[in-house]
Amino acid sequence: MIIQIYAFTDPDTACTAAALGVNHIGFIAGQYGIVNGELSFKQAREIVKSLPPGTASVALTMSDDINEILRMASEVTPDIIHVSTDPEQVGISAMQELRKHLQPNILLMKAIPVEDESSIEIAKQYASMSDFILLDSKHREYPGVGATGITHDWNISKQIVESISVPVILAGGLNAENVGIAIKKIRPAGVDSNTFTNRENSKVRKDLGKINKFIQAVVSSDHRLQGI
Domain boundaries, the chain: 2-8+20-225
195-202: long-range contacts (C-beta < 8 A, 24 or more apart)? 195/147, 195/148, 195/149, 196/149, 197/5
Q: Residue 228: which pLDDT band, with cuts at 50, 70 and 90?
A: very low
pLDDT in the model for residue 16: 98
Average of pLDDT values for 65-85? 97
On average, the pLDDT of the chain sits at 92
pLDDT tens-place string over residues 90-136: 999 999 999 999 999 999 999 999 988 999 999 999 999 999 999 99
Residue 199 near residue 207, CB atoms below 8 Å: yes
% residues pLDDT > 90 (the chain): 81
Distance separating alpha carbons of residues 66 and 101, to the nearest angstrom: 10
Is the pLDDT at 14 greater than 60? The verdict is yes
% residues pLDDT > 70 (the chain): 92
Nearest residue to 214 via CA among 166, 185, 171, 158: 171
State pTM to two decimals: 0.93
Q: Range with the lowest mean pLDDT among 17-21, 109-113, 136-140, 161-165?
A: 136-140
Four-CA torsion 156, 159, 161, 163, nearest 10 degrees:
-140
Is the pLDDT at 199 greater than 60? The verdict is yes
CATH 3.20.20.70 for domain 2-8+20-225, yes or no, is yes
pLDDT in the model for residue 88: 85
pLDDT tens-place string over residues 23-53: 999 999 999 888 889 999 999 999 999 999 9
